[in-house]
Chains A and B, each alone.
Chain A
Amino acid sequence: MAQLQGLPVGKLIIAFTALGGACAGLAGMLEVAAVHGAANASLVAGFGYSGILIAFLARHNPLAIIPVAILLAGFEASSGLLQRRMDLPDATVLVLQGFVFIAILMSETLYGRVKPLAPERWRLPDKRARRMPAERSTHERR
């Protein structure tokens, strides 16, 4: 479809993949410069994989990524407290994350099936929807 419109699909894919890589590289820079202050092997903490899942949970919406990322970071941050207060191993957070991810990804199947949460009800009324009743009223007048 995009090809039919005359867009250079291959070049766009390469350019945006490069941009995505640049964002991930920036995240690594922040991790070294602001959090750890040094680069070593302990940097490998699986943030990349969690990042992919956060993008899925946010339904690929950049604004929704912010709250989801903060929620997941909160899980990570609770690790120390869980270990100290409740004597649980550090893997507890990983298990929790896994269950949360799977539960949310599974609930994708319910999208649009639960009546009170149906997407049509929660959509903001856009211009076309507001014009519709007006048109109907003129129709009724005739």
Chain B
Amino acid sequence: MNGAELGLWSVPLAMLAGAIRVSTPFLFVSLGECLTERSGRINLGLEGTLVFGAMTGYAIAYETGSPWLGVLAAALAGSLFGLLHGWICSLPKVNDIAVGIALMLLGMGLAFFFGKPYIQPVAPDLPALNLGWWSELPQVQSALKVNVLFLLGLLLALVLGWMFRATRLGLTIRVVGDSTDAARALGINPIRVRVLSTAAGGALAGIGGAYLSLYYPGSWNEGISSGQGLMAVALVIFARWRPLNCFWAALLFGGAGALGPALQSVGVSQGYYLFYAAPYVLTLGVLIATSSPNRALSGAPAELSITK
């Protein structure tokens, strides 16, 4: 059986494959943003962190020959960017949204500046697990070729959800995100919690970037990110600040993004560019459908500057 006999079934299959392949950077960045926003800060600079992480990961993987060292380096670089954002925003009167956009430009600029020598060379890729061994169909096999980072992301979403729900650390972050005054009264240092959460969120975004350059699409160039870092911020709102929902949102977004190419491959040639906009239309639609003029966003941390 080949692709032609599979017929229209190849569309949902391609969407599943796309969801698994494309969603990982969204997943990591939105988990990082979720962690940061739960502590009461918005880091819009994750787009720059993502691109810088992609560059660092690729460069280190090329120099050392080990993709995992690359991922580690990307996480470190991301946490540095997070620390920088957290520290600058801790100064009084500094606007976290403006600093985020500035850091986005800086991160992309630094990545392009230092990444110039790494556009040509080929770095080793991250390994993938074949979860489709039970099937004869090559399409199913390629769809279920799952990267280890995707599974790590799923695990991380579960762990973060459990952390927010059941641990002292999660409670501390939630208190800081919901009321600075209450946190101070409890003897928590809100600034330290926010700086550390932003740094951890930046590290996750860096790992998302390493996935981009080390697995899919798997090379470093200046057009590597198509706004994943910014869309992830919307995904966190879409997911109502819940880590496991971030996972589903990222999958849905990745799947909708694969709709255009999938339709193109089965011969729908008219207007498939419109389907490339499907994920954005979907996000907008769901946000409008779940909104209400009578109440604030449900589940939003009260200290966020967009809800205050």
Q: Which residue of chain B has the shortest Cβ distance to A92 in the bound complex?
A: B113
1/0 contact string of B88-114 vs chain A (CB within 8 Å):
100111110011011111111111110
1/0 contact string of A47-58 vs chain B (CB within 8 Å):
001101100100
Judge whether A91 and B112 touch: CB under 8 Å: yes
Q: Which of A50, A91, A93, A108 contacts B95 (CB 8 A)?
A: A108
Judge whether B113 and A95 touch: CB under 8 Å: yes
Give min CB distance, B32 to chain A, whole Å.
Answer: 20
Q: Which of B94, B104, B110 contacts A106 (CB 8 A)?
A: B94
1/0 contact string of A88-125 vs chain B (CB within 8 Å):
01111111111101100110110100000000000000
What B residues does A98 contact at CB under 8 A?
A: 102-103, 105-107, 109-110
Judge whether B105 and A94 touch: CB under 8 Å: yes
Judge whether A106 and B91 touch: CB under 8 Å: yes
What B residues does A89 contact at CB under 8 A?
A: 112-113, 116
Is B293 among interface residues, defined by CB-CB distance under 8 A? yes
Q: Which of A95, A96, A99, A105 contacts B98 (CB 8 A)?
A: A105
The verdict on A95 contacting B101 (CB below 8 Å), with A105-B94, A111-B93 known, is no
Judge whether B91 and A94 touch: CB under 8 Å: no
Is A37 among interface residues, defined by CB-CB distance under 8 A? no
Q: How many angstroms between the C-alpha atoms of A92 and B113 in the bound complex?
A: 6
Give min CB distance, A13 to chain B, whole Å.
Answer: 11
Judge whether A53 and B93 touch: CB under 8 Å: no
What B residues does A133 contact at CB under 8 A?
A: none
The verdict on A46 contacting B105 (CB below 8 Å), with A105-B98, A109-B91 known, is yes
Q: How many angstroms between the C-alpha atoms of A36 and B109 in the bound complex?
A: 23
Q: Which of B95, B101, B110, B112 contacts A49 (CB 8 A)?
A: B101
Q: Which residue of chain B has the shortest Cβ distance to A52 in the bound complex?
A: B101
Q: Which of A10, A50, A52, A93 contacts B293 (CB 8 A)?
A: A10
The verdict on A94 contacting B108 (CB below 8 Å), with A10-B293, A52-B101 known, is yes
Give min CB distance, A97 to chain B, whole Å.
Answer: 6
What A residues does B88 contact at CB under 8 A?
A: 102, 105-106
Q: How many angstroms between the C-alpha atoms of A96 and B110 in the bound complex?
A: 9
What B residues does A106 contact at CB under 8 A?
A: 88, 91, 94, 99
What B residues does A93 contact at CB under 8 A?
A: 109
Q: How many angstroms between the C-alpha atoms of A28 and B42 in the bound complex?
A: 28
Q: Which residue of chain B has the shortest Cβ distance to A101 in the bound complex?
A: B102
Most buried by B among A10, A49, A53, A98: A98
The verdict on A95 contacting B110 (CB below 8 Å), with A46-B105, A101-B105 known, is yes
Q: Which of B103, B108, B113 contacts A102 (CB 8 A)?
A: B103
Judge whether A102 and B95 touch: CB under 8 Å: no
Judge whether B105 and A97 touch: CB under 8 Å: yes
Q: Which residue of chain A has the shortest Cβ distance to B106 in the bound complex?
A: A98
Q: Which of A52, A90, A102, A108 contacts B106 (CB 8 A)?
A: A102
1/0 contact string of B45-59 vs chain A (CB within 8 Å):
000000000000000
Q: How many angstroms between the C-alpha atoms of A95 and B51 in the bound complex?
A: 14
The verdict on A95 contacting B109 (CB below 8 Å), with A52-B101, A102-B102, A102-B103 known, is yes
Judge whether A56 and B95 touch: CB under 8 Å: yes
What A residues does B99 contact at CB under 8 A?
A: 102, 105-106
A-B contact pairs, 14 of them (CB 8 A): A50-B105, A53-B102, A53-B105, A56-B95, A89-B112, A92-B113, A94-B112, A94-B113, A95-B113, A97-B105, A98-B103, A99-B106, A102-B99, A108-B95
Chain B residues in the interface with A (C-beta under 8 A): 88, 91-95, 98-99, 101-113, 116, 293
5 more A-B residue pairs beyond the given contacts A108-B93, A109-B93, A111-B93, with a C-beta to C-beta distance below 8 A = A10-B293, A53-B98, A53-B101, A94-B105, A101-B106
What are the 3 A-B residue pairs with the smallest beta carbon separation, nearest first? A98-B106, A94-B109, A91-B112
